[in-house]
Structures are given as C-alpha cells and as structure tokens.
C-alpha cells in the first residue's frame, strides 16, 4: 500500500477512530490490579495519540508532497548509488558511453527512466514531460527547448507530481501564449543520497557533473532538443532553487538562463551562488523569486545576488506578497517563472544537428 494512496490515509483514519472508540468503551471496564489498569489506560491514550499524529502527518505529506513513496521516505528513492564500489571491480566501462535510455510512461503525462551517469559515476531517476506539440506530425522535425526542474530537500523528482501538477502548469502557459512549448526534465539532485548543493564534492557525489553532463547528454540523445546553451535552462525550488542559481552562474555554456524559486541561503556552500555572482560575471540570465512571508527564503537573498552581479550577468527578481516555504507558494511562482524562462530560450524550430537516437 503506497504512502500517498487514499486507502492508506483511510486506513489510518479508521485506526484513529477505532482507538478513540475503544478507549471510550473500555476505560470504565478495566479489571485487575490497579497497576495493570493504569498501564492499560496509558496504553490506550498513547494509541490514540499515535494514530492521530500519523493521520496528521500523512495528510500534510499528501497535501505538500514532501515524500512520494515509502522508498522516498526511507531515503532509497531515485538513487542508484555509486556505480562502482571502492575495492571492487565493476563491469568494464564501454569505450563509447551509451546514452540510449528507454523512458516508460509514468504519471500525469510524464515519462520516467533510471539514467546511468557515465561521467559522474552515479545513476538516478529522471522524469520527463513532453509538450503536446512534440508528438504532432507537423512538429516531427522540430527540436524543442529544455528546462531542467530541480526539487528541494527533503524531496525527489516524484515530489512535483504530488505537490503540484507541473505539466499542467506548463501546458496552461503554452496554451495562453505566455510560454513556448518546452521539454521539462526532472532529475534527482541526490543521486548518491547526499546533499552537496549540486556541486561535485570529492568522496561524496559528483552531482554537478550529473546534472550538467550526464542528464543533458541523455536527454539530448533520446529527445529532439535544441542545442545548449540557447536551448537549455535550469530552475528549481528551495534547495533546487539554490542549485538552479548556482548551475546557471557556473555553467553558462550549458544553460542560457536559470530561475531560483525560494532558494536556500545563496551565501553558503561550495562555490555558492553569491560567490559566483560576485567573482565570475558569466553571460547568463537569472531570476530569483521569493515571498515576503517566507522566512526560510526571504527577499534579501535575491537582493544579495542582485547586488553582487555585474554585467554581462543579468538578475531579475519577482516577489509574492504572501505565502510561506511550501508547495502552495511554489505552485503560484511557477507560471511566471515558466514565462520568464521561455522568453530567454530559443523557440522550437527545425535545426540540423548530428544524427541521434531521438524519436
């Protein structure tokens, strides 16, 4: 039974009701020594409290999408772990890495695959959404821009399908003419179950290489994508927002633009966004979106980056007047963020590229 299934929530509610009903019925009927009666009554109180807390926790999780599955909760989801273990010889690496991957239908129009990171030495889940235009005959020779969308921590790519209908948000922007059709790519930012701030950290994980090389090459090989950097952008929420700012500033050769939605503190971490903005001055476009009521990601974070950036770097900011650090607020941020990013990417077009396996 899935962590987010309706049946599991119903079962917990039934258990909570049964615990209260049982306590009411059995409380005056206790028999035996007084110590035993006290122990049983304490047990009933604890049972009522535990079942009630579980109901609240599952309800909050289903509402905000913190964990999408039992594996997600236990830290096993979307993480293949390192492909080689120290002291153990793995299978020989192919002379030419094979980026061909079979993406299978998943949920809400998304497709999913476990991707092997040939350069990062890891692997993890990658979820893809294709705009409706992608499959239409008149677009058969058209290549599309790509937006990598990065989740927060705790969380996984699957969290976007619980916390919001991300594909529908993008489709609404496309239908309204506020965004060009684009491919959404949702990779895990913790392929080795460790938070590195999307940096390559020796002895831990090469997440930066995973996101900027392995994921990019895999998607480019399997789908009709525009070339980087004009055809690629990165965006994210919370820790993923921090990562989006960092990767856009660190890799202008890969991403033409980045959008950081309610990012973590940009002054912290390895080669932090604030440090990059102050010292590297890349030719890139960055959006930092925040809420006045978000104590975890206040508007001052955007002010720091804006104050540090110098030409040719361009930083834009957007502020919501209300909303905390949660899925409801991020869901209100995404429409404007998609519109902003789309305006800074190439529109879908037919472009001659080297032959690929992209359907």
pLDDT of residue 209: 97
pLDDT of residue 153: 92
pLDDT of residue 309: 96
The answer to pTM > 0.85 is no
Residues of the chain with pLDDT under 70: 1-5, 61-95, 352-357
Closest CA to 229 of 313, 345, 357, 358: 345
- Rounded to whole angstroms, the Cα distance separating 98 from 216 reads 13
pLDDT of residue 33: 87
Taking the mean position of all CA atoms in its chain, how far away is CA 86?
Answer: 29
Cβ within 8 Å of residue 254, ≥6 positions away: 212, 216, 228, 229, 232, 247
């Amino acid at each position: 039974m899935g962590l987010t299934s309706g049946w599991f929530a119903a079962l917990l509610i039934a258990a909570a009701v049964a615990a209260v009903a049982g306590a009411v019925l059995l409380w005056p009927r206790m028999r035996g020594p007084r110590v035993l009666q006290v122990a049983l009554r304490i047990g009933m109180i604890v049972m009522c409290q535990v079942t009630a807390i579980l109901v609240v926790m599952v309800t909050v999780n289903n509402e905000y999408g913190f964990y999408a599955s039992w594996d997600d909760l236990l830290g096993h989801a979307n993480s293949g772990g390192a492909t080689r273990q120290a002291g153990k010889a793995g299978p020989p690496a192919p002379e030419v890495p094979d980026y061909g991957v079979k993406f299978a239908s998943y949920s809400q129009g998304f497709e999913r695959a476990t991707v092997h990171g040939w350069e990062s030495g890891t692997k993890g889940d990658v979820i893809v959404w294709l705009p409706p235009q992608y499959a239409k005959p008149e677009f058969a020779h058209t290549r599309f821009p790509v937006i990598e969308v990065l989740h927060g921590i705790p969380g996984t790519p699957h969290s976007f399908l619980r916390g919001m209908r991300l594909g529908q948000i993008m489709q609404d922007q496309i239908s309204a003419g506020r965004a060009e059709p684009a491919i959404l790519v949702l990779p895990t930012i913790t392929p080795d179950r460790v938070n590195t701030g999307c940096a390559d950290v020796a002895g831990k994980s090469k997440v930066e290489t995973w996101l900027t090389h392995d994921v990019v090459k895999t998607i480019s090989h399997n789908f009709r994508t525009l070339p980087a950097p004009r055809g690629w952008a990165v965006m994210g929420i919370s820790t993923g927002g921090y990562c989006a700012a960092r990767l856009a500033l660190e890799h202008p050769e890969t991403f033409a633009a980045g959008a950081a939605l309610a990012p973590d503190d940009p002054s912290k971490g390895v080669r932090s966004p604030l440090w990059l903005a102050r010292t590297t001055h890349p030719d890139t476009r960055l959006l930092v979106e925040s809420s006045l009521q978000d104590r975890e990601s206040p508007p001052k974070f955007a002010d720091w980056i804006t104050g540090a950036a110098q030409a040719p770097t361009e930083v834009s900011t957007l502020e919501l007047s209300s909303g905390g650090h949660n899925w409801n607020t991020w869901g209100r941020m995404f429409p404007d963020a998609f519109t902003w990013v789309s305006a800074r990417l190439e529109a879908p077009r037919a472009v001659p590229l080297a032959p690929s396996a992209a359907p």
